[in-house]
Amino acid sequence: MAKRLVVVGGVAGGTSAAAKAKRTNSQWDVVIFEKGPYVSYGGCGLPYYVEGEIEKKEDLVVRWPRQFREQGIEVYTHSEVKAIDVDKGEVEVYHAQEGQTRRYPFDALVVATGARPLVPPLPGRDLEGIYVLRTPDQGEAIRRELESGNVKKAVVVGGGFIGVEMCEALARWGVEVTVVELLDQILPPMDRDMADVVARYLEEKGVNILTGHGVEGFLGRDRVEKVVAGGEEIPADMVILSVGVRPNVDLAREAGIQLGSTGAIAANQRMETNVEGVYTAGDCAEARHIITGEPVYIPLGTTANKMGRVAGTNAVGGDAVFKGVLGTAVFKVMDLGGAMTGLTEKDASRRGIPYSVARITARDRAHYYPGGQRITVKLVYNSETGRLLGSQIVGRWTSVKRIDAVAVALYAGMTVEDFSRQDLAYAPPFSPVWDPLLVAANKAVR
Amino acid sequence: MAKRLVVVGGVAGGTSAAAKAKRTNSQWDVVIFEKGPYVSYGGCGLPYYVEGEIEKKEDLVVRWPRQFREQGIEVYTHSEVKAIDVDKGEVEVYHAQEGQTRRYPFDALVVATGARPLVPPLPGRDLEGIYVLRTPDQGEAIRRELESGNVKKAVVVGGGFIGVEMCEALARWGVEVTVVELLDQILPPMDRDMADVVARYLEEKGVNILTGHGVEGFLGRDRVEKVVAGGEEIPADMVILSVGVRPNVDLAREAGIQLGSTGAIAANQRMETNVEGVYTAGDCAEARHIITGEPVYIPLGTTANKMGRVAGTNAVGGDAVFKGVLGTAVFKVMDLGGAMTGLTEKDASRRGIPYSVARITARDRAHYYPGGQRITVKLVYNSETGRLLGSQIVGRWTSVKRIDAVAVALYAGMTVEDFSRQDLAYAPPFSPVWDPLLVAANKAVR
């Protein structure tokens, strides 16, 4: 009888693992169990679906169950894995539409249970009009409300990447947006000086930003009417909670699969957990940071896909390694973009790494080429060895993906001096003759 | 008495050298002699000035003589260095506006004499309406003709980067453009399969492309009326000759400064020539190729600036090295862009390097994000070691600068497998979850 790989969770990490496993070894049966109604959807696209840039929630689906079946992969949606018995090699699955629980044996397992939005236990949090945004159905509910035209004012709780993307989405519907952030800056993963550039831009565009304000609760009869934060009462017809996510690890922990220091599932470079034959991938898993070597929890779509391929390959007898992450991330809000990779200044400081900073503002086109805009580049580097530690960029949204060049340099372990020597592409519409990245590197070298 | 650095040539390489020298060691006198009327102009912007995107030719000037003087650098325009006496340490300079020749001693010298456009000795080449585009004054002459409205049809001889950029410039004036290229493809530095993507795009936009056609001459009474190419007579009110450049090395050669195998001035990593104290930079100098280690002649604005900084630093007693080039280049034509770095397939083949190719076409945004366009990425890698050798990209112009990530990987000596592991930035407006670069790398690894 063919061996069976069971994949728990069918979004980015799980479906990547399943597809790669089947391609690696077609002799194996591969089965995906997904709790929700969709598999393989682009969760990162949800703010744009809410915005209306993407018409239908179904457009977010990358591959439909039919397409997996054509590849020889079985897919069960509405099917929640309730328990994993690693000794017997069995999962217990509740098929919600049939109301039945069944057990399935496995020879290898990939745990890709993803993450869930953190919902702080605040008074009034069950009022109508308060949303998290993680699934297509949640996105649809938010969009329906916006389409109704009844939402005039919205509060986004949490000014992270998704919170900032939601500013664009809500503003597009003519909604007055207030971002409430507990910390003293929006975009907590970035340094404050860079985040402030984004905050000033958003304020110019009419977004209210309240940093250093913790939300104390929500007021309203059935529906939310006000958000109480820092003693203020902020009118709100809608609230988006985007204060971060937590890995879904209950199932794994109960099965005896070890969690790491970050609270997410621990795995080696082969994405194998402490239990032989049990792998993990995606937003439930921690990863090694390429710069520090430490385990980190930075759940991102690209990482989930990469982990999934490695887990899927190894689960069916192949051989692949996942080298880790730099936390490279990018976002667009209106015409602005921001990007980061590696360590921030505060990351370096917190770890006691001796560091220096080179920060420059330049144009993103040759000075004489029309339409040039300001771009700010920050490089953080080890002040003793010169090794690049990380970078952050804020500028016109089409200009910030140049962060990738720094991500590659970080992976390679380059010093700022080496980075200043890079032969980057130049023509007047694309950058000044010295790319802003090199201007920053030259400043670091001086 | 202060020591004196003389810089011969005041465009990119020369002015970079002068400025860097003065910053490195302000004790030195620094003097620039420039034959033409302008110093420090952005030659790469000339097609955009012709197009009208840039209003005045003066807008191309990066720094005016006054600005150099404020920094303590003497600048002489209309001043051609006629001879270099390396034994005496003297240059002989003809100051055209005064009609006088003077001699100036130097303690160190930077030769930055640049390059000149190749003008094939064809019948009729002295007819009016035939231009090369290298200096602001040449750009102005072309633009005046276009502004007159008398140019209905133009022939661009040579389909390299500048030839292709001129297609955009001429088309903007409503001119019907024909590109005549001797080789069997436009964009000779790229591989034919990639160049053909650009050619098809240009044809869709109404540009006529004649490859494999050598120009035999020009017909007309006083003014060009026809271009004879491959036996055909192509009507033309204007001709742009863009068949490449040659380094200006006569002055150096006559002074006993050694040329390299490429015909350009040879220098070590410190940009010092065979003559102690004599440095070189810019389009007159050859460089070491980072992949092959061979000397190459790839004159580009970025390279000129980098070489200039190194030459200027060392000339006044500092210490800097120029590690070489990858030939990274990028161009925009209308809404399309192309980029390359490192070796092409034909470069690898010519050198007998065992190579493989991974070529993919993908979308440049998440499939569900509106406005995504096709992007083609080609990776060339050593089929024995897996080491990346080069890359070419064609796609929407704002998407092709991602070539920089490959340039950094090439500098670092990465394999395609390592490159497939890069943590590149992702959000739906910027790329699919697998960046097209990674899709290509994954294909190479398979």
Catalytic residue, chosen from B4, B23, B25, B44, is B44
One domain, residues A196 and A308: no
Spatial distance between the Cα atoms of B106 and B102, rounded to a whole number of angstroms = 13
At which of A243, A270, A300 does a domain end? A243
Chain A positions touching B394 (Cβ under 8 A) are: none
Tens of pLDDT, residues A33-73: 999 999 999 999 999 999 999 999 999 999 999 999 999 99
Identify the bridge partners of residue B339 per DSSP, sorted by sequence position.
B330, B393
One domain, residues A129 and A235: yes
Spatial distance between the Cα atoms of B52 and B50, rounded to a whole number of angstroms = 5
Distances (CA, A) of A7 to A111, A115, A256, A312, A439: 6, 16, 17, 9, 47
Q: What is the largest CA-CA distance in chain A?
A: 70
Residue B50 covered by a domain: no
Mean pLDDT, all residues of chain A: 97
One domain, residues A13 and A85: yes
Identify the bridge partners of residue B323 per DSSP, sorted by sequence position.
none
Within its chain, how far is the Cα of B24 from the centroid?
27
- Report yes or no: B300 at the A interface, CB cutoff 8 Å: yes
- Report yes or no: B434 at the A interface, CB cutoff 8 Å: yes
- Report yes or no: A320 at the B interface, CB cutoff 8 Å: no
Angle between helices B12-24 and B301-315 (to 10 degrees): 30
Which of A190, A401, A431 has the alpha carbon at shortest distance from B436?
Answer: A401
Spatial distance between the Cα atoms of A330 and A399, rounded to a whole number of angstroms = 11
Q: How far is B99 from chain A (nearest CA, A)?
A: 33
Residue A277 covered by a domain: yes
- Report yes or no: B60 at the A interface, CB cutoff 8 Å: yes
Spatial distance between the Cα atoms of B265 and B285, rounded to a whole number of angstroms = 5
Q: How far is A298 from chain B (nearest CA, A)?
A: 12
**In terms of C-beta density within 10 A (0-12 exposed, 13-18 middle, 19 or more buried), how is residue A162 classed?**
buried
User: CA-based Rg of chain A, rounded to a whole angstrom?
Assistant: 23
Q: Helix, strand, or coil here: B289?
A: strand
One domain, residues A108 and A250: yes
Cβ neighbours for B369, distance < 8 A, ≥ 6 positions apart: A45, A48, A53, A54, B428, B429
| DSSP letters spanning B380-410 | EEETTT-BEEEEEEEEEGGGGGGHHHHHHHH
- Report yes or no: B343 at the A interface, CB cutoff 8 Å: no
At which of B283, B315, B347 does a domain end? B315
- The pLDDT of residue A442: 97
Please say whether the beta carbons of B15 and A401 come within 8 A: no
- The pLDDT of residue A143: 98
Question: Degrees (nearest 5) of the Cα angle A244, A245, A247?
Answer: 155
Spatial distance between the Cα atoms of B210 and B199, rounded to a whole number of angstroms = 10
Chain B from 265 to 294: CB within 8 A of any A CB: 290
- Report yes or no: A367 at the B interface, CB cutoff 8 Å: yes
The number of folded domains in chain B is 3
- Report yes or no: A398 at the B interface, CB cutoff 8 Å: yes
Residue B265 covered by a domain: yes
At which of B315, B349, B366 does a domain end? B315
ipTM: 0.97
Tens of pLDDT, residues A331-369: 999 999 999 999 999 999 999 999 999 999 999 999 999
Q: How far is B370 from chain A (nearest CA, A)?
A: 7
Residue B30 covered by a domain: yes
Question: Degrees (nearest 5) of the Cα angle A178, A184, A190?
Answer: 95
One domain, residues B202 and B280: no
Query: Which of A408, A423, A427 lies at the smallest CB-CB distance from B325?
Result: A423
Can you give the pTM of this predicted structure?
A: 0.97
Chain B positions touching A370 (Cβ under 8 A) are: 53-54
Tens of pLDDT, residues B368-403: 999 999 999 999 999 999 999 999 999 999 999 999
- The pLDDT of residue A1: 81
Spatial distance between the Cα atoms of A305 and A14, rounded to a whole number of angstroms = 8
Question: Degrees (nearest 5) of the Cα angle A87, A88, A89?
Answer: 90
In terms of residue numbers, what domain contains A200? 119-243
Mean pLDDT of A115-143: 96
Q: Helix, strand, or coil here: B341?
A: strand
Which of A391, A344, A392, A393 has the alpha carbon at shortest distance from A373?
Answer: A393
Cβ neighbours for A128, distance < 8 A, ≥ 6 positions apart: A220, A222, A223, A224
One domain, residues B128 and B234: yes
Residue B44 among the catalytic residues: yes
Residue type, B353: I
- The pLDDT of residue A9: 98
Chain B from 158 to 197: CB within 8 A of any A CB: 161, 165
- The pLDDT of residue A446: 85
Residue A328 covered by a domain: no
- Report yes or no: A345 at the B interface, CB cutoff 8 Å: no
Please say whether the beta carbons of A103 and A198 come within 8 A: no
Chain B positions touching A54 (Cβ under 8 A) are: 368-370
- The pLDDT of residue A65: 94
Cβ neighbours for A253, distance < 8 A, ≥ 6 positions apart: A259
**Residue pairs between chains A and B whose CB atoms are closer than 8 Å:** 208
Spatial distance between the Cα atoms of B327 and B343, rounded to a whole number of angstroms = 8
Which of A301, A299, A272, A317 has the alpha carbon at shortest distance from A15?
Answer: A301
Mean pLDDT of A200-229: 97
Residue A325 covered by a domain: no
- H helix count then E strand count, chain A: 12, 25
Mean pLDDT of A292-307: 97
One domain, residues B110 and B252: yes
- The pLDDT of residue B446: 85
One domain, residues A154 and A210: yes
- Sheet bearing B79-85, strands edge to edge: B79-85, B90-95, B100-105
Closest-CA residue in chain B for A46? B428
State the sign of the Cα–Cα–Cα–Cα dihedral B268, B271, B273, B276: negative
Q: What tokens were used for A431?
A: 């950058």
What CATH number did the domain enclosing A384 receive? 3.50.50.60
Interface contact A402-B404, CB threshold 8 A: yes
Residue A32 covered by a domain: yes
Chain B positions touching A331 (Cβ under 8 A) are: 427
- Report yes or no: B323 at the A interface, CB cutoff 8 Å: yes
**Given a cut of 90, is residue A307 above it in pLDDT?**
yes
Q: How far is A290 from chain B (nearest CA, A)?
A: 10
Query: Which of B42, B337, B423 lies at the smallest CB-CB distance from A433?
Result: B42
One domain, residues B395 and B286: no
Mutate to test the interface with B, among A165, A368, A379 (most CBs of B within 10 A): A368
Interface contact B341-A407, CB threshold 8 A: no
Residue A156 covered by a domain: yes
Q: What tokens were used for B334?
A: 């209308």
Low-confidence residues of chain B: pLDDT under 70: none
One domain, residues B82 and B125: no
One domain, residues B362 and B267: no
| DSSP letters spanning B22-66 | HHH-TTSEEEEE-SSS-SSB-GGGHHHHHHTSS--GGGGBSS-HH
One domain, residues B158 and B222: yes
Within its chain, how far is the Cα of A102 from the centroid?
33
- Report yes or no: B58 at the A interface, CB cutoff 8 Å: no
State the sign of the Cα–Cα–Cα–Cα dihedral B144, B147, B149, B155: positive
- The pLDDT of residue B1: 82
Chain A from 108 to 137: CB within 8 A of any B CB: none
Per-residue DSSP letter, A327: -
Q: Helix, strand, or coil here: A204?
A: helix
Q: Helix, strand, or coil here: A99?
A: coil
